[in-house]
Amino acid sequence: VGTPMVAKQEMGFIRKHLLKRLETLEQARGGTDDQSHKQYIERGNSSVIDLDVWQCLTSAISLKEPMLVFPVSNFTTFAPMVGLNQVATNSPSLPSPGMIACIQASGGCLPSLWDPSKERYGLDKDRAEGKDKQPRRATKDVSPLRDVLLMKPGSTVEDVFLTLKNSGALSGDFVRAEACGGVSREKPKPVPKHTILGRHNRIIKIQTTKRSQWQ
């Protein structure tokens, strides 16, 4: 069920409750002689704000947490799928240079594929196409478990396959899949398409009909 809402309503909603809080504090302190401040409070209370935003946030918080699924190409290094390199470097959802600067200023780490010298995302051509002649270098430079999919609770292996296929990371038909939970020295096990994903099998490797698309 969709909840209609706009940014203006959201800001109005926040402003309304902040003004109510200020009014409560002023009453507790015995009021104020600042007439302009009183008018500001009254003007804020007179506005009518719908509760669409509040209902949306309440609904979102009450939902179950998504299942984190990590598609990989190798269970030894947990290297990412070659097919996801394009998404990891050109997706419009990636943090912008300004956002990255804020992340750094707050003590955070740079995104995996961000090149600070060129101020852009990217991989060299051979690594992007999975043709690097020095695989050890490639796996060392790329962060393990780089990519993650947010799946609905109850999602199956087939759901992950379709998600990757729709994003262009895979092509062809499903052949087989292996998965593990990431526990030390744990060996991956074959998982059928109908298997429900959980913490014990959230790291997954999928094979399709095209040999060149072994991810």
Q: What is the pLDDT of residues 162-191, one digit of tens each?
A: 999 999 899 999 999 999 998 888 899 999
Phi and psi angles of residue 105, each rounded to the nearest 5 degrees, phi first: -65, -30
- Name every residue whose Cβ is closer than 8 Å to that of residue 100 and which is 6 or more positions away in sequence: 110, 111, 114
Q: What is the pLDDT of residues 87-96, one digit of tens each?
A: 888 888 889 9
Q: Which two tokens stand for residue 142?
A: 């790329």
Rounded (10°) CA dihedral 69, 70, 71, 76: -140
- Sequence-ordered alpha helix ranges (H) in 63-168: 85-90, 97-105, 125-128, 135-141, 157-166
For residue 91, the Cα-to-chain-centroid distance in whole angstroms is: 12
- Maximum average pLDDT range among 3-17, 25-39, 65-79, 120-134: 65-79
Place of tokens 């984190």: 68
pLDDT bracket for residue 3 (50, 70, 90): low
Write down the pLDDT at residue 122.
82
Q: Which two tokens stand for residue 157?
A: 């292996």
Could you tell me if 66 and 152 are in contact, meaning their C-beta atoms sit under 8 angstroms apart? yes
Q: What is the pLDDT of residues 127-163, one digit of tens each?
A: 544 544 454 444 445 678 999 999 999 999 999 999 9
Write down the pLDDT at residue 36.
53
- Name every residue whose Cβ is closer than 8 Å to that of residue 110 and which is 6 or more positions away in sequence: 100, 103, 104, 116
On average, the pLDDT of the chain sits at 79
**More reliable by pLDDT, 83 or 15:** 83
pLDDT bracket for residue 27 (50, 70, 90): confident
Write down the pLDDT at residue 214.
47
Helix (H, G, I), strand (E, B) or coil at 115: strand
Rounded (10°) CA dihedral 14, 20, 22, 26: 180
pTM, rounded to two decimals: 0.64
